[in-house]
Amino acid sequence: MEVVTGCYEQVLFGYRLRRDHEVWTLSADFTHHAHTGSLSAVAVSNRYIATGSKDETIQLYDMKKKTEHGALLHHDGTITCLEFHSNTHLLSGAEDGLICVWNVKKWECQKSIKAHRGHVTSLSVHPSGKLALSVGTDKTLRTWNLIEGRSAFIKNFKQNAHIVKWSPSGQKYIVVVMNQLDIYSLETASVIGTISHGKRISSVQFITDTLLAVAGDEEVVRLYDCDSQKCLNEFRAHENRIKSIYTFGLEDFHVVMSASNDGYIRAWRLDQDKVQEPPSLLCEVNTSARLTCLSVWRADSSETKNNPDTAVEESLTPTKSKKKIHWSKTDTTEEGGADSNQLPLKKKKKLQTTVEKKKKKCP
């Protein structure tokens, strides 16, 4: 497993997360400085890592070959959110109000949707891949029909929401406005529960369909029950505010990863039958950077049923000139998206390991 995290200092860090029986370690694997602005988003598939930045670009990394795979230049503004779906598509949102749907096989932009009049602040794809949710600074929540690339439903808010996320089952979703988290039912599209957090919420992760991990502008991570909206547990994870959390399940327990402005990445063990007990610290590493985003790339993800490996091309021919993609009639968005797409690619180069400067395969 590879823990990847971005920071204000424009660097992407990669740390190898290893488990040797009961001993866990985080060891430096690579650093990469491809962006010219602070990193704002990171997403992983079974093969690629995508990072978004204030420099308005999306950088791609091939984790199987340990190479830089190229850059996507379509947005005009900070990249605010990235999400892969089923290893076949990448969705990106930005301050230009656009949501782009990228085909991972050829890295073509299949759809460019003018999603919001303001910034896109967050997006989430339904597990079926047929729907997506987005929130923006126009104080709206929008439901998107990804098959037709059009808006299916719009809900207005009194304030700007900055996080939206589907549950693993897709039967409910959450919307965050400042320190308030509303839980919605997919069937009724109405609020079925509300959680009031202590401070502004910065990151939310579903551990299970009924258990939420929530972090805010403070040092504490809280665990909430979605059905009762009660706080089951809270623990002090860092010495400074937490910027991002990420969770994944193993056979016998769940791991909660946390990244903070204090520069630390920490891995916590959470036993589902002992949710009300404080999680134990598995390992930690100090990056000496102000961290902004976090994710975990798992080498075995292609073997899972939820992440089928779907005919990804081994390489993409680099080109110095911008490549114009011609849109078919069905690709034209109802919201008035861009009428062309540009995909310039940089030459592939190896990620720089933290131990040696020369190009070589990471262990």
Lowest mean pLDDT among 82-91, 116-125, 348-357: 348-357
pLDDT at 329 over 90: no
Confidence class for position 355, pLDDT limits 50, 70, 90: very low
Cross-strand bridge partners of residue 236: 220
Of the candidates 57, 82, 19, 108, the one whose C-alpha atom is nearest the C-alpha of residue 298 is 19
pLDDT of residue 151: 87
pLDDT of residue 314: 28
Query: Tell me: the pLDDT tens digits for 250-280?
Result: 888 999 999 999 999 999 999 988 999 989 9
Cα–Cα distances in angstroms (integers) from residue 100 to residues 38, 92, 210, 261, in the given order: 21, 5, 30, 30
Query: Tell me: the pLDDT tens digits for 143-192?
Result: 999 888 788 999 999 999 999 999 999 999 999 999 999 999 999 889 99
Average pLDDT, the chain: 84
pLDDT of residue 300: 59
Q: Over the Cα atoms of the chain, what is R_g? A: 20
pLDDT at 361 over 50: no
pLDDT at 303 over 60: no
pLDDT at 51 over 70: yes
Confidence class for position 198, pLDDT limits 50, 70, 90: confident
At residue 110, the 3 state secondary structure works out as strand
pLDDT of residue 313: 27
**What average pLDDT does this structure show over 87-97?**
95
Question: With contact defined as beta carbons under 8 Å apart, do 1 and 46 qualify?
Answer: no
pLDDT at 84 over 70: yes
